[in-house]
Structure 1
Amino acid sequence: MAKKVKITETVLRDGHQSLCATRMRYSQMEPMLEELDKIGYKSLEAWGGATFDSCLRFLDEDPWERLDNLKARLKTPIQMLLRGQNLLGYNHYSDDVVTRFVQKASKHGVGVFRIFDALNDIRNLKTAIDAALACPEKPEVQGCLVYTVSPVHNNDYFVDLSKKLVDMGVHSICIKDMSGLLKPYVAEDLVKKLKASLPDNIPVQLHTHYTSGFGSMTYLKAIEAGVDVIDCALAPFALDTSQPCTETMVATLEGTEYDTGLDRQAMTPISKHFLKVKQELINEFGLKGYFDVNPNVLDFQIPGGMLSNLANQLKEAGMENKYQDLLDEMPRVRKDAGYPPLVTPSSQIVGTMATFNVMTGERYKMVPKEFKDLARGMFGKTPVEVDHDFLTKTLKVAENEIITDIKAEDAKAHSFADFEKELHEKGFLNPTEEDVLSYALFPQVAEEFFKKHYAPMTAYKKA
């Protein structure tokens, strides 16, 4: 029986996040929304990830209004990437903030919630999954296997994790390979094991990046093994550190039992538009716009979007010649931290620690608070327990600061009412729930955005 492969298109989110620092404006998306909607994608990934922060910080856009505008013009389900208890920020939030955020995102138009935790700690996924499952709009709730390679991560580990996610009620499973580490034959084995272990009504989706050069080969072997959906980006925002190319994958599968049924020719004008957009972004923001494939990502495992940021930090410090030292240091720091998968926020935390080690010339001479928090359990349970002496002697973490009950810590976090009260104290008297949530995630950035867009502050009316 023919097994039609479905495609999630990432040009509106991960494509430009990976290649152009998430700088695409809604106005640059709008001209092609109707055409994208006609293609027949399984979903359009268009929200979440870094888009929320970027809208407020760089693009002078309200991310909630962007979502409203997308929803008004699209019938294809809008997909978002959500970091579980971190939501779209870099801290753990209280359960009521997580629940309200998910409810509002669903109401504004998110049709697929892709939910992951940087450490694959299912305790950090439960609140967001439960909230999404309870939404009256009935969105698809997708649980993620954050793919990485270490002495403790293997395909059996990920199959076991998938079963736990299904037990939590998710509708589908996504293999989230954020650094392009998943090798073609390993992907084939993993997909076969997942399909054999999960109920027939649970689709398996695969997300990868081209950073290592594996991308299209990995997709092909996964497709042959039975994967249901793949993530692709239209040509201008494909490859390098982004996803495999949509048009190429559609053409590859044409005339086979896996034929997507999508019209590749209809994608051409859309790609031409986004090629112009890419050049606009490169020119306006001084971006590189492309990144070399680097097979050594298999060793240092840094997600593609981070490589340029780390290199820039060294450049600004006049230490460009230390770049290879940094790549060599990353696996050592990751091992010390208990082999966390390197994805937001753990990738930034481990990357910053490695950078400090290289720049100071002395390991752990300067230790950021975030790295101590990661090691002591503030973000959840690390895949391997962090060495006690390293924790207490090297990082100087006190015994009573070591966390075992992450949900007890979440309960201490600011509640929605706390954030609302803060806004009132700052003179914003009538914030919407969406505004309170924006402030909860990015207080300083949101406050500056509000000052610019609402006047007078005491009335909190739109200017």
Structure 2
Amino acid sequence: MKKEIKFSLIYRDMWQSSGKYVPRVDQLKKIAPVIVEMGCFSRIETNGGAFEQVNLLYGENPNTAVREWTKPFNEAGIQTHMLERALNGIRMFPVPADVRKLMYKVKKAQGVDIARSFCGLNDHRNLELSIKYAKEAGMISQAALSITHSEVHTVPYFMSVVDKAIEYGADEICLKDMAGVGRPATLGKLVRAIKEKYPKTIVQYHGHSGPGFSVSSMMEVARAGADYLDVAMEPLSWGMVHPDVITIQEMLKDEGFLVPEINMNAYMEARALTQSFIDDFLGYFIDPKNRFVSSLLIGSGLPGGMMGSLMADLKGVHNVINSVLVANGEHELSEDDLLVKLFDEVKFIWPKLGYPPLVTPFSQYVKNVALLNILQLVKGEERYSMMDNNTWDMILGKSGTLPGTLAPEIIALAKNSGKEFYTGVPQDAYPDVLEKYRKEMIENNWDFGRDNEELFEFAMHEAQYRDYKSGAAKTRFEEEIENAKNQNSEKKSFFKMKEKQSPNRSAYPKEKANESEAIAAFLLYSLNYKPKSVIEHSNPENNVWNTIGFWRNILNVVVRYNSKDIEISYACSKNGNYEIQIGGEIINAKIEYLNEGEIDISVNGKKLFASVSAEKDGSFKVLINGQEFLMSRNDMLFEKSDLEDSETGIVSAAANNLYSPIPGKIFKLNVKEGDKVKKGDVVIVVDAMKMENNLVAKKDSVVKKIHVNLNQMVTGNFLLVELEDIA
């Protein structure tokens, strides 16, 4: 008798492996009946992961979205499943037990049948409560193995996790190959081992296409006895996502498996609808590179599912690294150069961090450590000097037991930093919190929602839920969409400016320029000009707006003029128009022409020509109608000559100042001006790359000046805090 293989459409993961957002609820309701009509899917992944959080970022209610999205599948008898991260629930950091327990009750009530639970460290203790709570809520518990490839991740290793999951009562086992780096033969051996020991247990395989193994892996696990395969469909299949259902169906049919037929008319309709969602707005947040398969992922083991965020983070750090290299008189790195360096650094640090499986959130931790290590090494700093608290929790055992052994230098770093290793059950480190949130909801007169779903959402995604309730999330999202559309229309605008002929300046006004006009000219020149040698070897899209990302709408810089630091806010809007706030004055400016050492701008409709030249002391001379202005940007990295006396080689106090290493948001300020700090004290925390990045004092110092406020968006290299030596 032919072995039957069933398919699950990973519609949520298709989107989140491609870009930042998922379709709105109105779009999901539109496509759901068409997916049902395709007739080939026994299961649909509907939610979990970042689905609920993304809905809050829209300013929409995720509980409504899940109920409306699952309803057509429930009515058609198609099982729905969600993804959750065990100890981390459906967020990136640990969740108290009472919130985890409520999650399963809420999701079952919302129409979700199966809870796919994975622990990124494969610590069975974190899976135990997931299995227990899912079954108590009436859900099917599917325990997932976080697949990766290393000397410690063997078939016996994974089987030890399976044994405990079955002991705890798991109904099914999933091989979650998030990076797609599981070797096909090994995956086949693992499925065969599970089926031989637990023949009645359903096995489902989930594998990304990124490194190129996925089709072969699906054949191997099918031959070994897998029951379900996760698949995707055009236009979001392949690349960093999943294989297309058509290919997998035809391959298995040829091998003699019993597989469902596909209603191709419905497939094409669903394909067209998905494309319309991309065209509507979602395409603005999809990196085209995610459409490609890359064998480079094999060595690093990074998951294809995080490549969207990885490329965005890479761009954010790329310009910062190149600024340091240029300041040191070294050649810049191309984006591809940096990507290879990142993969190499991941391979180097991964075993030293104890081989955490490279799945969410631990893949994010390892990637961030690697990327910031590269930045710190370029700056002459040490590795591991910018690890965030969540990464430390992983290292210290608060997230679970690492599969491998920590390197001696990591253990020494922890001890020297005064950190203690945790050996208890991870969940015990996070006390219950529901009563706190329940009390606040009563005080705010907020509705708990059906089945306490609003209470759950508030407790799970507190910051995002507050922004949703206040309307800030909706406003921010609408601004983000507008900026994304504007940015799309402005692609290659820099090069178009370069191709223009020098304008006729004879009609320009000849009167003296004022301070604000000179600052505007200098600011726009410093933001947008790159030497020709740099342009020829760089990505055309690596301008400041791509670097800082779609969501950073208003930015701040500090310009020094007449011995004063002038804080300036600016934003770029449609057609390259800038709105610049200098003190209480708001001016509108636009670049008319840009070339080496010269810029033509219009300021509030008045056209000006400025020549810009660098001085030996690191400042710039701006010349407008014969009038000179000397100024500099304090948010830019100091040149080497600014930090070091050429004769004595003594580093000045400026070397101790703290700059934002990457674009981000000021999350926490631990000091005020005049405070004394000791070497290693956390002075300021920058929220970037989904992590809270601690910036510490390099030596005992006094806080001279703070240049930022809480929640302020900053670019890379932005001067955050000035520190001076203790007298």
Shift of 1:55: 0.9
Gaps of at least 5 residues in structure 2 are 322-334, 474-727
Residue 46 of structure 1 aligns with which residue? 46
Shift of 1:453: 9.5
Indicate which of 429, 451, 460 corresponds to 1:441.
460
Q: Is contact 1:187-1:218 (8 Å) kept?
A: yes
Indicate which of 342, 345, 348 corresponds to 2:358.
342
Q: Distance between the aligned counterparts of 1:152 and 1:409, measured in 2?
A: 27
DSSP 3-state at the match of 1:44 = strand
Q: Distance between the aligned counterparts of 2:345 and 2:384, measured in 1?
A: 12
Residue 620 of structure 2 aligns with which residue? none
Residue 351 of structure 1 aligns with which residue? 367
The one-letter amino acid paired with 1:417 is E
DSSP 3-state at the match of 1:254 = helix
Corresponding position: 1:417 with 2:435? yes
How well do the aligned residues superpose, as a CA RMSD in angstroms? 2.2
Corresponding position: 1:371 with 2:391? yes
Q: Which has the higher helix share?
A: 1
The one-letter amino acid paired with 2:101 is T
TM-score by length of 1: 0.90
Distance 1:430 1:278, change over 3 A: closer
DSSP 3-state at the match of 1:223 = helix
Residue 173 of structure 2 aligns with which residue? 173
Aligned residues: 446
Q: Any idea what the Cα deviations from partners look like across 1:58-106, whole Å, max 9, x if unmatched?
A: x222111111112332231111001112110122222111111111111
The one-letter amino acid paired with 2:365 is I
Q: Is contact 1:210-1:243 (8 Å) kept?
A: yes
Corresponding position: 1:190 with 2:190? yes
Q: Is contact 1:21-1:305 (8 Å) kept?
A: no
Q: Distance between the aligned counterparts of 1:444 and 1:22, measured in 2?
A: 18
Shift of 1:389: 5.2
Residue 206 of structure 1 aligns with which residue? 205
Q: Any idea what the Cα deviations from partners look like across 1:356-409, whole Å, max 9, x if unmatched?
A: 11111131222222221110011111112324652243573436x210003463
Shift of 1:421: 2.9
Distance 1:371 1:121, change over 3 A: same
Residue 339 of structure 2 aligns with which residue? 323
Q: Which has the higher strand share?
A: 2
Q: Is contact 1:6-1:41 (8 Å) kept?
A: yes
The one-letter amino acid paired with 1:20 is G
Distance 1:441 1:392, change over 3 A: farther
Q: Is contact 1:281-1:287 (8 Å) kept?
A: no
DSSP 3-state at the match of 1:97 = helix
Q: Distance between the aligned counterparts of 1:447 and 1:151, measured in 2?
A: 44
- Kindly report which structure 2 residues correspond to 1:63-212, keeping only aligned pairs within 5 A, or say none: 63-75=62-74, 76-135=78-137, 138-198=138-198, 200-212=199-211
Compare 183-192 and 315-324 and name the one that shifted more.
Answer: 315-324
DSSP 3-state at the match of 1:125 = helix
Q: Is contact 1:251-1:264 (8 Å) kept?
A: no
Q: Distance between the aligned counterparts of 1:289 and 1:353, measured in 2?
A: 23
The one-letter amino acid paired with 2:9 is E
Gaps of at least 5 residues in structure 1 are 455-463
Q: Any idea what the Cα deviations from partners look like across 1:114-148, whole Å, max 9, x if unmatched?
A: 0100100011111121011112xx32210111101
Residue 471 of structure 2 aligns with which residue? 452
Q: Distance between the aligned counterparts of 1:329 and 1:292, measured in 2?
A: 22
Q: Distance between the aligned counterparts of 2:456 and 2:372, measured in 1?
A: 33
- Over the matched positions of the two proteins, sequence identity in percent amounts to 25
The one-letter amino acid paired with 1:358 is I
Which gives a bigger RCO, structure 1 or 2 (Cα 8 Å, sep 6+)?
A: 1
Q: Distance between the aligned counterparts of 1:187 and 1:429, measured in 2?
A: 48
Structure number with bigger Rg: 2
DSSP 3-state at the match of 1:237 = coil
Shift of 1:413: 2.8
Distance 1:368 1:20, change over 3 A: closer
Shift of 1:291: 3.2
Compare 267-276 and 277-286 and name the one that shifted more.
Answer: 277-286
DSSP 3-state at the match of 2:113 = strand
TM-score by length of 2: 0.59
Distance 1:449 1:37, change over 3 A: same
Residue 306 of structure 1 aligns with which residue? 306
